[in-house]
């Protein structure tokens, strides 16, 4: 497993769990300013109009954690991190489709 695989590895969380802004920053172990940057750049889309009202679904933790690791550990800018996230999501979808097709062919 490569370093990038370790950095981007994660587990999906319950979609029914939501975090307030301060709690999200705490769980993420990130400064408020970084999370605000992620929202302003479109990498995260919380519900609510202001940071005080923002609520983030638990699934956004994996996305935010991946971005923060890319930015902090690998020096990728936010635009680059967004592109990487899109490619990772596409890769996951393609792998799921491939696994499905392989099950159909084997069955």
Q: Give residue 14's Cα distance to chain centre.
A: 14
CATH code for the domain of 57: 1.10.1660.10
How many Å apart are CA 40 and CA 22, to the nearest integer?
17
Which of 40, 44, 80 is closest to 59 using CA atoms? 44
Alpha-carbon distance values, 25 to 12, 21, 32, 48 (Å): 18, 6, 6, 16
Residue 8 has pLDDT above 70, yes or no: no
Residue 57 forms part of a structural domain: yes
pLDDT in tens, 42-84: 999 999 999 999 999 999 999 999 999 999 899 999 999 999 9
Which of 21, 32, 75 is closest to 84 using CA atoms? 75
Residue 11 forms part of a structural domain: no
Residue 100 forms part of a structural domain: yes
Residue 30 forms part of a structural domain: yes
Residue 91 has pLDDT above 60, yes or no: yes
């Amino acid at each position: 497993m490569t370093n990038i695989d370790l950095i981007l590895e994660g587990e999906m969380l319950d979609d029914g769990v939501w975090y307030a802004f301060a709690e999200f920053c705490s769980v993420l172990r990130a400064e408020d300013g970084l999370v605000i940057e992620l929202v302003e750049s479109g990498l995260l889309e919380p519900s609510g109009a202001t940071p005080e009202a923002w609520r983030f679904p638990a699934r956004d933790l994996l996305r935010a954690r991946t971005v923060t690791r890319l930015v902090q550990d690998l020096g990728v800018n936010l635009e680059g991190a967004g592109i990487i996230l899109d490619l990772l999501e596409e890769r996951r979808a393609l792998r799921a489709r491939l696994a499905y097709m392989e099950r159909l062919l084997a069955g």
